[in-house]
Structure formats: structure tokens, C-alpha cells
């Protein structure tokens, strides 16, 4: 599947009338599993990227090069469309433009550019936003950096929980006027907030999380929410599994007595073993 086909698949989701949950992916194994399980979209979150690549919390330590390279590995491993959390674009508007170019080349189906002030300012313990004017400049630069018109670019804001609902709406309307393909919101905690945002805007909406009271997909779809994230449980579960396995081995448990190991057929599917064997026969003349 070509990169454009993946991007068009994401555009179809955004243009539809249903809301879906994406699969949280962060490496070649997780994206293949998500694809095999039938997820229509993968989400490569910033926190998952930071943990998978650096083992660090999500405090803007990861670099664009590291993020793009990990996306490139996933694009090679599977054809699942992936929406990438590109944070603040790794600098000013000019850096945002390059961020778009690099992630496009790495095979991302879409990406988000947010208006959070990153990295965190000295002496300030609460999240801050850049100005609306700077946010608009970043969005314009992102759109200018796009080479493939099918690449999805979402304007993202966390203003609902950082400043106010009114500010979130003003920023969303400004990003919409720039020509983004959709709007990504974090920090929404109540239905009246989403209702107000949906009434004031017209683009597809992606939610970066919401309380259980807003988990009804039909309700979300009626407010133009097309993608609703569910956090990044897969990497958390993988972390626990590795910890428990190594702990058991360290305590003297025999490898044959370990619990929670995958069956051999699952590992074979994840490795695409049958495809590899076919290529070995075709290209190296090896017997089956």
C-alpha cells in the first residue's frame, strides 16, 4: 500500500459519519498487531514515542529525527495508516515546516501540530500556550511544507484546560480558516464543551481523550468527532509484561515455566514468517 493510499484512507475516516478508536502504536511489532486485529487507524502518540525511543516521560526531549525514524520503521513494517503526534513541530514555524516534510517522507498518514509552549518554560509549573498569532503561523508553515496534498494536517489545541473554552474555539476557528484538514482537542471534560466547539466549527474533530461520560461513539459522531483516542495502554501493558518476565527469570524461574508468553503462531504472524519463507524460496532458491 502506497503512502498516498494510507493518507486517503485517513481522509475517508475524517469524511465519514462514524467515530472510531485508533490503535495506539509505537514500533514495528505494535503496528503489525494493530493492523492484524483490524484497526482502521494507528495513533503514534508523543508519550508512547518518548517512552519507546528514549525511556523518558513526555517532556519534549525527543527529537524530530528520532520521531521520524521510528515512523519510518513502522511504515516499512505495516500498511496501517498512522496519525502522528508531532507536538509543537520541534521549534518555530520554520521547524514545523521541516517536521511536516520529514514525517511525510517517513510515511505518516497525518500529523498534528499543537499550540502548547514546548519545552516547558523556566520557573513555570503549568502548561502554557503560544500566542494565537504564532499558532496560526505554525499551521500555515505546516500546510506550506506539505508536498503530498493527501497528507492530513490537524491543528491541535489544549486551550480548553489551559486557558478557556472561548480561547479554544477562537484558536480552532483560526486554524480552520488557515485550511487545516481537521481539529484536534485535548482537555475536554464535559459534553457542553464539545457541543460548543462543534457548533462553532465545521471541520472533522479528533479527541485526544475524554471522560467515560463522553464515551458514546454515536454521541461523538453526531458532534463530528471522527477519531477518539483511548490513551496508550499497549505500551503500558508491554512494559509490565517485560518487567514480569525479566523478574521471573531473575528469580530463577525456568524459561519453560514462564507465564504470558505468546504462542509460536502469533510470533510467526507478527514476523510475517510465511511471507519471508516465500521470498527465501523465490529469491535464494531455498527449499520450503
The tens digit of pLDDT for each residue in 117-163 reads 999 999 999 999 999 999 999 999 999 999 999 999 999 999 999 99
For residue 282, what pLDDT is reported?
95
Domain count, the chain: 2
Cis status, amide bond into 119, omega within 30 of 0: yes
What are the distances in angstroms from CA 70 to CA 58, 93, 114, 126? 16, 23, 20, 29
| 269 and 225 within one domain | no
Q: Are 79 and 275 in contact (CB under 8 A)?
A: no
| 283 and 183 within one domain | no
| 280 and 175 within one domain | no
Q: Domain of 38: which CATH number? A: 3.20.20.60
- Residue range 227-243: mean pLDDT, rounded: 97
* 246 belongs to a structural domain: no
> What cell does 278 get?
516465500
| 113 and 219 within one domain | yes
Contacts of 128 (CB under 8 A, 6+ apart): 116, 117, 121, 162
* 146 belongs to a structural domain: yes
* 161 belongs to a structural domain: yes
Quote the domain boundaries for residue 92: 3-237
| 278 and 180 within one domain | no
* 29 belongs to a structural domain: yes
First vs last Cα of the chain: how many Å apart?
Answer: 27
What is the three-class DSSP state of 12?
Answer: helix
* 44 belongs to a structural domain: yes
| 266 and 160 within one domain | no
For residue 287, what pLDDT is reported?
80
- Residue range 180-190: mean pLDDT, rounded: 97
Side-chain-facing half-sphere of 179: CA atoms under 13 Å:
10
| 277 and 228 within one domain | no
| 168 and 287 within one domain | no
| 129 and 84 within one domain | yes
* 274 belongs to a structural domain: yes
| 150 and 194 within one domain | yes
| 279 and 184 within one domain | no
Query: Which ranges of 179-272 does DSSP label H, i.e. alpha helix?
Result: 191-200, 217-222, 233-250, 264-270
- Residue range 256-282: mean pLDDT, rounded: 95
Phi and psi at residue 123, to the nearest 5°: 75, 5
> What cell does 75 get?
511504515
Can you tell me the distance from the alpha carbon of 244 to that of 258, in angstroms, rounded to the nearest whole number?
A: 9
Q: Which pTM was predicted? A: 0.97
Q: Are 55 and 47 in contact (CB under 8 A)?
A: no
What is the sign of the dihedral through the CA atoms of 195, 168, 180 and 91? negative
Side-chain-facing half-sphere of 241: CA atoms under 13 Å:
10
Reduced to 3 DSSP states, what percent helix, strand and coil does the chain have, rounded to the nearest 5? Answer: 50, 10, 35
| 39 and 99 within one domain | yes
pLDDT band of 210, cuts 50, 70, 90: confident
* 250 belongs to a structural domain: no
Dump the DSSP string for 134-162. Answer: HHHHHHHHHHHH-SSTTSEEEEEE-HHHH
* 88 belongs to a structural domain: yes
pLDDT band of 288, cuts 50, 70, 90: low
**Residues above pLDDT 90, as percent of the chain:** 97
Amino acid at each position: 500500500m502506497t503512502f498516498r493510499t494510507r493518507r486517503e484512507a485517513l481522509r475517508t475516516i475524517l469524511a465519514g459519519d462514524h467515530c472510531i478508536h485508533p490503535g495506539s502504536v509505537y514500533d514495528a511489532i505494535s503496528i503489525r498487531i494493530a493492523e492484524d486485529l483490524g484497526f482502521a487507524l494507528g495513533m503514534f502518540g508523543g508519550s508512547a514515542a518518548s517512552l519507546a525511543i528514549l525511556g523518558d516521560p513526555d517532556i519534549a526531549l525527543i527529537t524530530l529525527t528520532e520521531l521520524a525514524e521510528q515512523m519510518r520503521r513502522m511504515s516499512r513494517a505495516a500498511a496501517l495508516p498512522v496519525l502522528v503526534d508531532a507536538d509543537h513541530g520541534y521549534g518555530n514555524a520554520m521547524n514545523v515546516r521541516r517536521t511536516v516534510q520529514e514525517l511525510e517522507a517517513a510515511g505518516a498518514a497525518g500529523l498534528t501540530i499543537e499550540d502548547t509552549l514546548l519545552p516547558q518554560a523556566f520557573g513555570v509549573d503549568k502548561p502554557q500556550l503560544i500566542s494565537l498569532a504564532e499558532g496560526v503561523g505554525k499551521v500555515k508553515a505546516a500546510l506550506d511544507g506539505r508536498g503530498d496534498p493527501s497528507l492530513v494536517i490537524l491543528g491541535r489545541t489544549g486551550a480548553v484546560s489551559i486557558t478557556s473554552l472561548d480561547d479554544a474555539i477562537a484558536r480552532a476557528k483560526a486554524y480552520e480558516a488557515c485550511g487545516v484538514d481537521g481539529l484536534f482537542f485535548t482537555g475536554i471534560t464535559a459534553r457542553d464543551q464539545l457541543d460548543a466547539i462543534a457548533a462553532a466549527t465545521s471541520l472533522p474533530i479528533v479527541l485526544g481523550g475524554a471522560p467515560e461520560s463522553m464515551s458514546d461513539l454515536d454521541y461523538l459522531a453526531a458532534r463530528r468527532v471522527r477519531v477518539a483516542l483511548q490513551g496508550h495502554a499497549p505500551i503500558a501493558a508491554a512494559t509490565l509484561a517485560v518487567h514480569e518476565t525479566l523478574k521471573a527469570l531473575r528469580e530463577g524461574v525456568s524459561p519453560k515455566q514462564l507465564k504470558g508468553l505468546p504462542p509460536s503462531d502469533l510470533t510467526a504472524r507478527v514476523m510475517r514468517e510465511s511471507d519471508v519463507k516465500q521470498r527465501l524460496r523465490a529469491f535464494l532458491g531455498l527449499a520450503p
